[in-house]
Amino acid sequence: MDGIGRRLTRLGRDLFTATLLALLLALFSRATLVEANQVVSGSMEPTLKQGDYILVNKARYGLRLPFVDGALYNWDLPQRGDVVTFTPPATLPGAGGRLFIKRVVALPGDVITVRHGVLYVNGQRAAGPSPTSARRGEWSEILADRSPAPAGPQTVPPGTVYVVGDNRENSHDSRSWGPVPLANIEGKATLIYYPSAGLEGVGRLGAL
């Protein structure tokens, strides 16, 4: 019995070690490589619908580690048109712990102006949709001028990006609470892997 007991003890220790390593690996991967998220609002419709499941590439812009705010090292920056997930800036009180998803429309140094509901970046009407979103008829540059802040001109500060929701009439975004610090960005949304409509929404599967 002693021999069996020792073997069972070793087996239990090995199982515990393997489980712990698997959990640590999963945590590391989730923080640094890829993360699955569910869209919980309609602010990105029609590109993303409430209830869609998406994958976020957390290594797209830099190296992140668990329990560390911001990236340890950045090797790229968000570009205009990227759909990103981020924690809200300090100018939005009461949103701690929430994760937002919006589209980047302007970069540091860009000048934003909203006139008659149309967004202008550096004096030019906002760029049209990317080929993928054009295929779906998405990402119109028309905006509802709903921001309590002045409509511009407003220069995007260094270290930040200006983000808005594709559902311009129903999106709480940089028009209301200002640009988002780059350190707050978690990653780039890359694809819809399960649509809110289930099998009926199979046509919406794929890259963003």
Which one is catalytic: 43, 147, 171, 174? 43
In our burial notation (b when 16+ CB lie closer than 10 A, e otherwise), range 14-49 reads eeeeeeeeeeeeeeeeeebeebebebebbbbbebbb
Among 17-26, 30-39, 93-102, 105-114, the least confident range:
17-26
Is 34-207 assigned to CATH 2.30.29.30? no
Tokens standing for 126? 């906002």
- The tokens for 105 are 């429309």
Whole-model pTM?
0.74
* pLDDT for the residue 157: 96
What would the pLDDT profile of 60-101 be if each residue is shown by its tens digit?
Answer: 898 777 666 666 777 889 999 999 999 888 777 766 668 899
Report whether the peptide linkage leading into residue 108 is cis, meaning its omega lies within 30 degrees of zero.
no
Q: What mean pLDDT do residues 15-19 have?
A: 58
Q: How do residues 161-195 score in pLDDT, each as one tens digit?
A: 999 888 877 888 888 889 999 989 999 999 998 88
Catalytic residue among 102, 147, 174, 188: 102
Predicted pLDDT of residue 155? 94
Q: Is 188 a catalytic residue?
A: no
102 in catalytic set: yes
pLDDT in tens, 91-150: 777 666 688 999 999 999 999 988 777 788 888 887 544 434 433 433 344 444 444 444
3-state SS, one letter per residue, for 117-177: CEEEECCEECCCCCHHHHHCCCCCCECCCCCCCCCCCEECCCCEEEEECCCHHHCCCHHHH
Sign of CA dihedral 81, 83, 86, 89: positive
